[in-house]
Structure 1
Amino acid sequence: MNFSFTFLFCLEIDMPRTTLRPKSLDFQPRPTYPYSPGASGGGMIFTAGQVAWDETGEVTGIGDVAAQTRQTLKNVVSVLHEGGATVDDVIKCNVYLADIRDFDVMNAEFATVFPTDPPARTTVEARLAEATMLVEIEAVAWVAPKT
């Protein structure tokens, strides 16, 4: 525990925080709403919870967990790429499902993006921001800082 804190503290000193806002997610709320799709610093990349918004800000795949999971993961990948990471750099994901009975469907789509050596993952049932949203995913990745 002490090592982890010390390691992260050192990273914070060495690297400032950067807000990540991929062009494909440019419709997402701006500074009037305190939200960023992601942030990075010290080699760590954190995505905010991503949902099945398409490039126009509309929820896609209404009623279709598989389609929403695909779009949600596409948005996660966009934020990761903006921070210089790929899915291979992801070390942790949190998945929020409107209905935990949709786990198997979400899991099948998740496995297509993380087919081998998947990240640590927690999946829970949660009430999401809009009734049409069925899945939300956030990710944490680490890439070695450039020297």
Structure 2
Amino acid sequence: MTDTTPRYLNSGKVLPATLPFSEAVQLGNLLILSGQLGNLPGTLTLAPGGIAAETKQMMENIKTTLEAHGYSMANVIKCTAMLADMAEWPAFNAVYETYFDPSRKPARSAFGTSGLAVGARIEMECMAAK
């Protein structure tokens, strides 16, 4: 393998293996995560309790996926958040910001959607680099 050969990764620790995509793709030192939901690991069942609970579970899922492939939250350089309702932005942000060192905040984009998979309130994709 060279640094220009993508590695398609699936640890099986968060997402069911039957889904039609990789949980992450590694290219050199860059790790690109597929969108993560606030699903309970190994299922498509969302964490109960609304946006705050889903956000916490989603962030834990991101952390688990990163660690499964040798990365950490400190390696995250970019996130894109998709919210089913932008009015829930403050509740999402209150949980999100607890996962990052204030001096090393990733670049981030966010937008509202007309719907997310399995009725989720939040989905986020991230990129990490070493």
Same topology, TM > 0.5: yes
Instruction: Give distance in 1, aligned partners of 2:6 and 2:68.
Output: 14
C-alpha change, 1:20 and 1:78, in structure 2 (3 Å) is farther
- Shift of residue 19, structure 1, vs aligned partner: 1.9
Q: How does 1:1-147 map to 2 (within 5 A)?
A: 14-30=3-19, 33=20, 35-62=21-48, 64-116=50-102, 117-126=104-113, 127-131=115-119, 133-143=120-130
Task: List runs of 5+ in structure 1 lacking aligned partners.
Answer: 1-11
* Secondary structure at 1:24 match in 2: coil
Who wins on radius of gyration, i.e. which is larger?
1
**1:45-95: per-residue Cα shift (whole Å, max 9, x none)?**
000000011124132334510100011111111221122111111110000
8 Å CA contact 1:63, 1:134 repeated in 2: no
Alpha-carbon distance in structure 2 between the residues aligned to 1:39 and 1:77: 15
Q: Supply the RMSD in Å over aligned alpha carbons.
A: 1.9
Identity of aligned residues (%): 26
Segments ≥4 residues shifted beyond 4 Å: none
Confirm or deny: 8 A CA contact 1:28 1:57 kept in the other structure: no
Amino acid at match of 1:137: M
TM-score of the pair, normalised by structure 1: 0.78
Higher helix share: 1
Q: Flag structure 2 segments of 5+ consecutive residues without an equivalent.
A: none
Say if 1:87 and 1:113, in contact at 8 Å, map to a contact too. yes
In 1, Cα distance between equivalents of 2:89 and 2:17? 27
